[in-house]
Amino acid sequence: MNSADQLGAIRARIAHTAKIARRDPADVTLIAVSKTQPEEAIRPLLAAGHRDFGENRVQEAQAKWPALRDAFPGIRLHLIGQLQSNKAADAVALADAIHAVDRPSLVTALARAMEAAARRPDCFLQVNIGEEPQKGGCAIADLPALLEQARGADLPVAGLMCIPPAGLEAAPYFALLSKIARDHGVTGLSMGMSDDFETAVMLGATHVRVGSALFGARA
């Protein structure tokens, strides 16, 4: 099955799951995670009408996307990887959404970059939902302060993001993020990847980040 066929199949699975959960499928954004994928792998999805794509690294996205944006209007680019504060200005110039805002210094850098550029991409605050020391994301206990800082800096806080621990059932972590979001008046939930996006949709995901299920395993 080629990537355009895979796209149709994944959209159908999202729609089916959303209906079971009594949700509108249109409320779930499928982000095609195109990190490390060459332009020739991305073009079939663009030709099929898909417009939301996820990249990990600012430098890779800067090299790949300007020409594609010229050829295919309406692309929305999501930065989903860890972001260094010194790349904040580049990220603001390039991205339509930033999914890994996880510390006070990055909030400050993004706020400054947005003011300078007069451009305001959506921001998702990343929560280290499994409390794993090797992963990015703010600690659950630190989220209220980070959220207050982000709102005070007038960042466009669109929601929360998480990556559950590998090898464990994802549902409890998605449910926890959903509860935290409700408790803090946040509506967006960026959660769910190739192996668990249907579970995430059942538990309220508004954005799912799907790579290998669309493109195949990365080389």
Q: Give the 3-state secondary structure of residue 109.
A: helix
pLDDT band at 2 (very low <50, low <70, confident <90, very high): confident
What is the torsion angle, in degrees rounded to the nearest 10, for the CA atoms of residue 159, residue 165, residue 168 and residue 171?
A: -10
Are residues 126 and 146 in contact, defined by beta-carbon separation less than 8 angstroms?
no
pLDDT at 219 over 80: no
| Percent of residues in the chain assigned helix, strand, coil, to nearest 5 | 45, 15, 35
> Which tens digits make up the pLDDT trace of 71-116?
999 999 999 999 999 999 999 999 999 999 999 999 999 999 999 9
Cα(57)–Cα(188) distance, integer angstroms? 22
Q: At what angle do helices 104-117 and 143-152 cross, to 10 degrees?
A: 20
pLDDT at residue 116 in the model: 97
pLDDT tens across 179-195, in order?
999 999 999 999 999 99
> Amino acid identity, residue 174?
F
